Amino acid sequence: MILGLSSKEVEALAEARADRKAGTELENRIREAEEHESMLVQVPKELRQTLSRKEQQASERRCEELITQVPKSTWPLLRQIEAM
C-alpha cells in the first residue's frame, strides 16, 4: 500500500494518469492533423491563384503583341486601297 491506498486504488490512479496522457497526446495529434489539413487546402488555392495570374500575364503579353502587329499587317491592304 502507498500512502494508505489499496493496490486497486493505485492501479486506478495509474490508469487514470495514463488515460490523461493518452488524451493529451490524442488532442495534440488532432491539432496537428487540423493544421496539416488547413495547409493542404490553402496550398492548392495559392497555386491556382498563381497560375491564374501567370495565365493573365501571358494573355496580356499576347494582346500587346497582336496590337503591335495590326498596323504591320494592315499596311499593305491600306496601300492597295489608296492606290485604287
State pLDDT tens for residues 18-37.
Answer: 999 999 999 999 999 999 99
Return the minimum-mean-pLDDT range out of 28-42, 46-60, 69-83: 69-83
The reply to whether the predicted model has a pTM over 0.75 is no
pLDDT above 90 covers what percent of the chain? 71
Instruction: List the one residue out of 49, 69, 72, 73 whose CA is nearest residue 61.
Output: 69
What pLDDT shows up at residue 77?
Answer: 84
Amino acid sitting at position 34: E
